[in-house]
């Protein structure tokens, strides 16, 4: 549903704007703080007389709360203080407005007072409790907390609007909608600002109650607002009625990012952004890669589609759950049962697995795979990816795992032997691969197997790359084994992702160099 804000300089202009806007709007928001000498009675009557079905929201922000959109919005509030503002909202209730908007920051007393007046007047007027952040977009957990605080007042709608400082901020407000939709009340959420237009376009499709749009560019009440005609184009595009890409529509005022993202939880320590951005720069591709800590992977998939993000890496814990949200999954990823790469083809999300290629390219550089035996320690996603590649290349995996049940399930799936971790010492094979997280920073003094177990192996590989030389690899080296580090796997799986996204060969040497430099610095 579209809400057109009325922000005219004079009451006369506002009456004209109401007349024009009612033809296109489901809601009219009377911004009484921006309309000079606004006569609420006349304005409400004008809406009612024009189109009886159009709902009216009355809003009145104090100067410091009114959003600034460069020259497009005058930040000159007609109300000076809370008292004036509450009086105006009370008048709106008396005049039978459908909604009044009151900021959470006005406090419990003011909100309760207005609620009780609404109830006294028969409940015709409903309350919107709102939160606006004109500086930034707080973290998702903080926004959830704010949503819960607003919801405590049992309003009809909670409105949470923030300022996008980065394109990624859009995902936070979009995720908030998914969260809020699980309970009442209704939610309106999006980001303001030039970088926030994307959430304005997508929010209605995720269940945001209404969208603010203007008739023309001059009527903006907040930065980044689209026109009604632009919003119509988005709606047609999302509903499949428009075949042209979204980019030309968005180019009416804003540019659409064509970026790459990492989706996981946690992602703070990830070196993928460093590696991928160095590669993209070297490849002359003016796009970037950033990490998102995601709560709701389904919501993030909607975000990828809507924001036309070209590709995503997927990491713990979403490699399996993400599969249900994709349009297509390639055969290797289906066999492995996990996706770590997504390619966005004009809104169709295709899933791939490059972890197995990372393992194989690392192994193949050092040895032949055919007819060789490989002890794989672990039975998770990476174990599965490694075993899949080894079988595909004619080698023989043996699964060793701490949890017997999980190990047995994987070995049955792969039709290969299983041994409990406690029996690792009695197996002989050509190569041992650790696919567990044992030995990863900060647990540097840990190894998944005893040092003496490694005697007799020609090759030992660790998928862990931080630290560069894990205890397992240090023990293996002492036993005379050739060691293969997780850095090579990391670089190859990332390079394969870039190939899928860009169709070009990435600079693997450079990618390894930046990772080695960073890991050496970390120590």
By CB under 6 A, residue 508 contacts ligand NAP: no
Q: Which residue in the set 344, 382, 447, 453 belongs to the binding site for ligand NAP (CB under 6 A)?
A: 382
Residues 263, 300: Cα–Cα separation, whole Å: 8
By CB under 6 A, residue 333 contacts ligand NAP: no
By CB under 6 A, residue 381 contacts ligand NAP: yes
CB atoms within 10 A of CB 95: 17
Residues 411, 417: Cα–Cα separation, whole Å: 6
- Among the residue ranges 10-18, 44-52, 223-231, 374-382, the one whose residues contact ligand NAP (CB under 6 A): 374-382
By CB under 6 A, residue 418 contacts ligand NAP: no
Residues 440, 483: Cα–Cα separation, whole Å: 16
On the question of a cis peptide bond just before residue 317, with omega within 30 degrees of 0, the verdict is yes
Residue 458 is among the residues annotated as catalytic for this protein:
no
Binding residues with ligand NAP: total (CB under 6 A): 26
| Token pair belonging to 339 | 């996706």
Which backbone phi and psi does 434 adopt, to 5 degrees?
A: -85, 120
Contacts of 447 (CB under 8 A, 6+ apart): 438, 439, 470, 471, 472, 475
By CB under 6 A, residue 155 contacts ligand NAP: no
By CB under 6 A, residue 435 contacts ligand NAP: yes
Q: Which residue in the set 189, 208, 308, 493 belongs to the binding site for ligand NAP (CB under 6 A)?
A: 493
By CB under 6 A, residue 401 contacts ligand NAP: yes
Residues 349/379, Cβ–Cβ less than 8 Å: no
- Among the residue ranges 66-74, 271-279, 396-404, 451-459, the one whose residues contact ligand NAP (CB under 6 A): 396-404
* Sheet architecture: strand order including 126-132: 186-192, 157-163, 126-132, 99-103, 55-59, 27-31, 2-6, 211-214, 226-227
- Among the residue ranges 6-14, 40-48, 67-75, 401-409, the one whose residues contact ligand NAP (CB under 6 A): 401-409
Q: Which residue in the set 490, 497, 507, 514 belongs to the binding site for ligand NAP (CB under 6 A)?
A: 490
Q: Which residue in the set 379, 386, 429, 449 belongs to the binding site for ligand NAP (CB under 6 A)?
A: 379
DSSP strand pairing (126-132 vs 157-163): parallel
* Nearer CB in complex with ligand NAP: 238/465: 465
The least CB distance from residue 18 to ligand NAP, in Å, is 57
Coil vs helix vs strand at 507: coil
Residues 248, 305: Cα–Cα separation, whole Å: 16
Cα–Cα distances in Å, from 271 out to 244, 340, 442? 36, 15, 16
Residues 519/468, Cβ–Cβ less than 8 Å: yes
Q: Which residue in the set 378, 389, 395, 467 belongs to the binding site for ligand NAP (CB under 6 A)?
A: 378
- Among the residue ranges 1-9, 80-88, 216-224, 432-440, the one whose residues contact ligand NAP (CB under 6 A): 432-440
The least CB distance from residue 454 to ligand NAP, in Å, is 16
Length of the chain: 523
Q: Which residue in the set 229, 295, 437, 479 belongs to the binding site for ligand NAP (CB under 6 A)?
A: 437
Residues 306, 178: Cα–Cα separation, whole Å: 15
By CB under 6 A, residue 436 contacts ligand NAP: yes
Residues in contact with ligand NAP, shown as a per-residue x/- string from 269 to 308 under the rule CB under 6 A: ----------------------------------------
* Nearer CB in complex with ligand NAP: 100/314: 314
* Nearer CB in complex with ligand NAP: 406/469: 406
Q: Which of 126, 195, 319, 372 is catalytic?
A: 319
- Among positive and negative, which fits the CA dihedral 256, 260, 266, 271? negative
* Nearer CB in complex with ligand NAP: 160/410: 410
Q: Which residue in the set 31, 465, 497, 511 belongs to the binding site for ligand NAP (CB under 6 A)?
A: 465
The least CB distance from residue 502 to ligand NAP, in Å, is 19
* Nearer CB in complex with ligand NAP: 331/405: 405
Which residue in 307, 357, 383, 359 sits closest to 500, CA to CA? 357
The least CB distance from residue 202 to ligand NAP, in Å, is 30
CB atoms within 10 A of CB 422: 10
Which residue in 263, 264, 289 sits closest to 275, CA to CA? 289
Q: Which residue in the set 141, 255, 403, 422 belongs to the binding site for ligand NAP (CB under 6 A)?
A: 403
* Nearer CB in complex with ligand NAP: 237/318: 318
Query: Residue for token digits 């939610």?
Result: 187
By CB under 6 A, residue 209 contacts ligand NAP: no
The least CB distance from residue 448 to ligand NAP, in Å, is 6
Give the H or E element holding residue 408: helix 404-414
By CB under 6 A, residue 355 contacts ligand NAP: yes
Residues 235, 202: Cα–Cα separation, whole Å: 9
Query: What is the set of active-site residues?
Result: 319
What residues line the site for ligand NAP (CB under 6 A)? 316, 355, 358, 378-383, 401-403, 406, 435-438, 440, 448, 463-465, 486, 489-490, 493
């Amino acid at each position: 549903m579209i809400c057109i804000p009325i922000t005219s300089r004079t009451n006369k202009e506002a009456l004209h704007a109401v007349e024009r806007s009612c033809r296109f709007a489901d809601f009219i928001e009377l911004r009484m703080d921006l309309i000079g000498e606004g006569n609420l009675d006349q304005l409400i009557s004008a809406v009612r007389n024009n189109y009886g079905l159009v709902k009216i929201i009355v809003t009145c922000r104090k100067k410091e709360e009114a959003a600034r959109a460069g020259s497009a919005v005058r930040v000159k509030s007609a109300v000076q203080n809370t008292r004036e503002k509450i009086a105006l909202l009370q008048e709106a209730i008396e005049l039978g407005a459908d909604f009044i908007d009151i900021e959470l920051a006005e406090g419990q007393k003011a909100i309760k007072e207005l609620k009780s007046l609404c109830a006294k007047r028969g409940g015709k007027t409903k309350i919107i409790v709102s939160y606006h952040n004109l500086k930034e977009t707080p973290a998702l957990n903080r926004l959830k907390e704010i949503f819960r605080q607003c919801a405590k007042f049992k309003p009809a709608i909670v409105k949470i609007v923030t300022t996008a400082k980065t394109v990624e901020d859009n995902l936070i407000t979009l995720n908030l909608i998914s969260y809020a939709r699980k309970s009442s009340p209704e939610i309106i959420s999006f980001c303001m600002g030039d970088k926030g237009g994307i959430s304005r376009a997508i929010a209605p499709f995720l269940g945001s109650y209404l969208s603010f749009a203007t008739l023309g560019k001059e009527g903006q009440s907040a930065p980044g607002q689209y026109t009604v005609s632009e919003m119509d184009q988005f709606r047609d595009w999302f509903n499949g009625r428009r075949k042209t890409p979204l980019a030309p529509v968005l180019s009416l005022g804003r540019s659409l990012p064509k970026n790459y993202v990492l989706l996981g939880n946690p992602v703070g320590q990830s070196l993928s952004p460093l590696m991928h951005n160095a590669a993209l720069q070297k490849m002359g591709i003016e796009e970037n890669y950033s990490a998102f800590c995601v709560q709701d992977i389904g919501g993030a998939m909607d975000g990828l589609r809507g924001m036309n993000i070209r590709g995503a890496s997927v990491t713990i814990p979403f490699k399996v759950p993400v599969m249900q949200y994709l349009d297509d999954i390639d055969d290797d990823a289906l066999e492995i049962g996990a996706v770590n790469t997504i390619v966005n083809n004009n809104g169709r999300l295709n899933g791939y697995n490059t972890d197995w290629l990372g393992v194989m390219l690392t192994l193949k550089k050092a040895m032949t795979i055919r007819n060789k035996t490989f002890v794989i320690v672990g039975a998770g996603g990476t174990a599965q990816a490694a075993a899949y590649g080894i079988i595909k290349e004619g080698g023989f995996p043996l699964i060793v795992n701490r949890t017997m049940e999980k190990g047995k399930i994987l070995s049955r799936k792969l039709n290969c032997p299983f041994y409990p971790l406690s029996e690792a010492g009695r197996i002989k094979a050509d190569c041992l691969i650790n696919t567990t997280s044992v030995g990863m920073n900060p647990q540097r003094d840990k190894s998944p197997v005893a040092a003496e177990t490694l005697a007799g192996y020609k090759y030992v590989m660790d998928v862990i790359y931080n630290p560069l030389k894990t205890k397992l690899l240090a023990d293996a080296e002492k036993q005379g084994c050739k060691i293969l580090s997780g850095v090579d796997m990391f670089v190859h799986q990332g390079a394969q992702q870039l190939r899928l996204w860009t169709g070009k060969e990435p600079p693997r040497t450079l990618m390894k160099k930046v990772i080695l430099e960073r890991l050496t610095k970390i120590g």
